[in-house]
């Protein structure tokens, strides 16, 4: 490996900059040239490369988002677009690619690898924590901390006004964020894509809470819940449960921003370092991750084709603690 390129793709997540910084400085320490690709696969198709050195990644460890920017690429989804991307890589004499993103990004990179045999390593960068083969993805911890801080503030006003708040968090297909933050904030109920929503059971739970002299309640709703989202569920509950002043808060993209937590900074640094070492050792089409506290590698096929199940013991904790 004489020259490596790195890109960030899909939704941004806190910790991506830590991974970029780690990739760049690890490459420099091994006398490998490193290029950044702007705006993900879109930049790969357009040939938007920039040279990176140690000083180019100074003071980015603490920044959210990604200095390389990210974008969806319709062109890269076509065979013509990928052919152009390959020509750009060859023109720049790039020997390997590091892709920081989620399952959609890895799927595109895997197709590219199958067609042109370009060596690549994936770094899991998504707040959803939904990739098989790693206990944590970059940005998940920071997003959870952001949600907890917001819900703690909402609880203050909920208690002051006898209000029932439905708080919608991200998680179209995975409930990791909802389940984790619901436990951390003491939510009365947590509604997730993995479980069916029963409005009558929810109302019964809220009524039990009121009978136990609770003067406010918080319900965490993942955006992919089958009940139709926080607004739809809140309206159905309001029709039958009139005791509380019912309100809805959708946290939206607030969850993606902000300074990465200590955990995400360390993970990004570990993932970036391991990604370079994996490429240098001849590995390809694998994702680096962390399993049981140790850095591990998982084939991209396994990472994107397997569903990462929620931890069942967390459901038991939730049920026992929401009294």
4 pairs with which residues across the strands? 34, 96
Q: How far apart are alpha carbons 282 and 2 in whole angstroms?
A: 13
Closest Cα to residue 176, out of 312, 293, 304, 35?
A: 312
Distance CA 269, CA 32 (A): 18
Burial class of residue 84 (count of CB atoms within 10 Å of its CB; 0-12, 13-18, 19+): middle
Q: Is 264 helix (H, G, I), strand (E, B) or coil?
A: helix
Nearest-angstrom CA–CA distance, 195 and 203: 16
* Residue 74 CB partners (closer than 8 Å, separation 6+): 81
CA distance 114 to 110: 6
Residue with tokens 């569903």: 307
Q: Are the beta carbons of 35 and 2 closer than 8 angstroms?
A: no
Could you tell me if 236 and 219 are in contact, meaning their C-beta atoms sit under 8 angstroms apart?
Answer: no
> How far apart are the C-alpha atoms of 238 and 254, rounded to whole Å?
26
Q: Degrees (nearest 5) of the Cα angle 200, 203, 206?
A: 155
Active-site residue among 12, 56, 95, 128? Answer: 128
Decide if 103 is catalytic. Answer: no
**Cα 61-64-65 angle, rounded to 5 deg:** 115
b/e string for 178-192 if b means 16 or more Cβ within 10 A?
A: bbbbbbebebbbbbb
The residues facing 298 across adjacent strands are 287
Q: Which residues are catalytic?
A: 128
């Amino acid at each position: 490996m004489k020259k490596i390129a790195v890109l960030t793709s899909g939704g941004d997540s806190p910790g991506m900059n830590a991974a970029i910084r780690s990739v760049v400085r690890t490459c420099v320490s091994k006398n490998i040239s490193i290029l950044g690709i702007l705006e993900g696969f879109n930049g790969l198709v357009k040939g938007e490369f920039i040279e990176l050195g140690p000083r180019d990644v100074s003071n980015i460890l603490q920044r959210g988002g990604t200095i390389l920017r990210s974008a969806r690429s319709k062109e890269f989804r076509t065979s013509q677009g990928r052919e152009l991307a390959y020509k750009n890589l060859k023109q720049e004499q790039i020997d390997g690619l590091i892709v920081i993103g989620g399952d959609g990004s890895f799927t595109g990179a895997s197709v590219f690898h199958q067609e042109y045999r370009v060596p690549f390593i994936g770094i899991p960068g998504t707040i959803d924590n939904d990739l098989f083969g790693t206990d944590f993805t970059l940005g998940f911890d920071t997003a959870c901390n952001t949600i907890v801080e917001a819900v703690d503030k909402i609880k203050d006003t909920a208690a002051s006004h006898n209000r029932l708040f439905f708080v919608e968090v991200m998680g179209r297909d995975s409930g990791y964020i909802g389940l984790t933050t619901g436990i951390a904030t003491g939510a009365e109920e947590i509604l997730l894509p993995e479980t069916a929503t029963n409005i009558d059971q929810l109302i019964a739970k809220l009524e039990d809470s009121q009978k136990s002299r609770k003067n406010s309640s918080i319900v965490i709703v993942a955006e992919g819940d089958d009940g139709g989202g926080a607004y739809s569920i809140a309206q159905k509950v309001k029709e039958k449960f009139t005791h509380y002043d019912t309100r809805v808060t959708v946290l939206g993209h607030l969850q993606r921003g902000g300074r990465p937590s200590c955990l995400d900074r360390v993970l990004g640094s570990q993932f970036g370092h391991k990604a370079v070492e994996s490429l240098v050792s001849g590995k390809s089409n694998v994702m680096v991750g962390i399993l049981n506290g140790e850095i591990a590698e998982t084939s991209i096929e396994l990472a994107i084709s397997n569903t990462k199940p929620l931890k069942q013991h967390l459901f038991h904790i939730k049920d026992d603690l929401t009294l």
